[in-house]
């Protein structure tokens, strides 16, 4: 069965510090991968998505970047965090070859607080 | 530009009654619509979906209705149970959109016992 992991679960970082959030998927190959952010009281905002190794599409201009160094690994980074980067970060994947490409499976999320 | 809109931030329903969550969209290229359920501090989980070639899809207590001419869909939960209390996200995808899924802002459902 497929599983998706995210870590850390919670993170408190000072303004101006770097960030690295990691997401890995097990039990599948060549998935589409996504990073979302849910700010307090807001919906899910798509930040980045990737259809393959090294292929990253950015949805919104921001202080963050993403990388996909391996097929099932997706990393969200920042060189200098802003207060507005606080939120709940979610990684998701889609099983492209199952015929249900539209259904996304989400990880448990990372709660980031920037102080 | 909000392509998927959930105009009701919250909804309160009595246990056993029907819950109706609404969603509107603006992009006529969307061809697949989904509902996700989310509990606090967890990732959303897929609930039910509907293709644009259908107007209704049912799965147990959950039914999704799609009105393409009005660019409107709704999720019906009958009967509502206290365990249904969660945030419900409406989402939409387009085949031409590279498998991007656009989410609404969510509606928090409270089911009172």
**What confidence tens digit (pLDDT) does each residue in B29-43 have?**
898 999 999 998 889
Residue A85: pLDDT above 90? yes
Query: Distance between CA atoms of B106 and B109, rounded to whole angstroms?
Result: 10
| DSSP assigned state of A99 | T
Most confident of A51-55, B20-24, B102-106: B20-24
* Record: contact B49-A108, CB cut-off 8 A: no
Contact A107, A33 (CB under 8 A): no
* Among B8, B46, B16, B22, CA closest to A106: B46
* pLDDT, tens only, A7-23: 999 999 999 999 999 99
Question: Shortest Cα distance from A94 to chain B (angstroms)?
Answer: 9
Contact B3, B61 (CB under 8 A): no
Question: Shortest Cα distance from B34 to chain A (angstroms)?
Answer: 8
Output B100 or B63, whichever has higher pLDDT: B63
Question: Shortest Cα distance from B90 to chain A (angstroms)?
Answer: 10
Q: How many residues does chain B have?
A: 113
Query: Distance between CA atoms of B23 and A61, rounded to whole angstroms?
Result: 27
Interface of A to B at Cβ within 8 Å reads 32, 34, 36, 42-46, 49, 51, 57, 59, 88, 90, 92, 94, 96, 101-109, 111
- Which candidate from A88, A101, A107 shows the least CB-CB separation from B99? A101
Residue A101's pLDDT band (cuts 50, 70, 90): low
Most confident of A26-30, A71-75, A102-106, B2-6: A71-75
Q: How many residues does chain A have?
A: 115
Q: Considering only CB atoms, which chain B residues are within 8 Å of A96?
A: 99
Q: Sheet containing A19-26: which strands, arranged edge to edge?
A: A3-7, A19-26, A73-78, A65-70
The interface residues of chain B toward chain A in range 51-110, judged by CB-CB distance below 8 A, are 89, 93, 98-106
Q: Is B103 helix (H, G, I), strand (E, B) or coil?
A: strand
Per DSSP, the residues of B2-45 read -SEE---SEEEEETTS-EEEEEEE--TT--EEEEEEE-TTS--E
Overall average pLDDT of the A25-44 stretch? 86
Tell me, what's the pLDDT at A103?
81
Tell me, what's the pLDDT at A99?
54
Overall average pLDDT of the A47-62 stretch? 86
């Amino acid at each position: 069965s497929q599983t998706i992991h995210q870590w850390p679960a919670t993170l408190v970082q000072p303004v101006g510090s770097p960030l690295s959030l990691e997401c890995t998927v097990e039990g599948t190959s060549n998935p589409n991968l996504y990073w979302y952010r849910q700010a307090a009281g807001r919906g899910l905002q798509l930040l980045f998505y990737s259809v393959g190794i090294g292929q990253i599409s950015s949805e919104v201009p921001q202080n963050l970047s993403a990388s996909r160094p391996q097929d099932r690994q997706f990393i969200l980074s920042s060189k200098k965090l802003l207060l507005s980067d606080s939120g709940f970060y979610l990684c998701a994947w889609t099983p492209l070859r199952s015929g249900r490409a539209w259904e996304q499976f989400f990880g448990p999320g990372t709660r980031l607080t920037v102080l | 530009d909000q392509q998927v809109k959930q105009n009701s931030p919250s909804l309160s329903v009595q246990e056993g009654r029907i819950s109706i969550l609404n969603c509107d969209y603006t992009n006529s290229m969307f061809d697949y619509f989904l509902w996700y359920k989310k509990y606090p501090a967890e990732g959303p989980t897929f609930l039910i979906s509907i293709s644009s070639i259908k107007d209704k899809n049912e799965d147990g207590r959950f039914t999704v209705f799609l009105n393409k001419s009005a660019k409107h869909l709704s999720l019906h939960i009958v009967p509502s149970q206290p365990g249904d209390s969660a945030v419900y996200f409406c989402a939409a995808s387009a085949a031409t959109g590279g498998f991007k899924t656009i989410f609404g802002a969510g509606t928090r459902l409270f089911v009172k016992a």
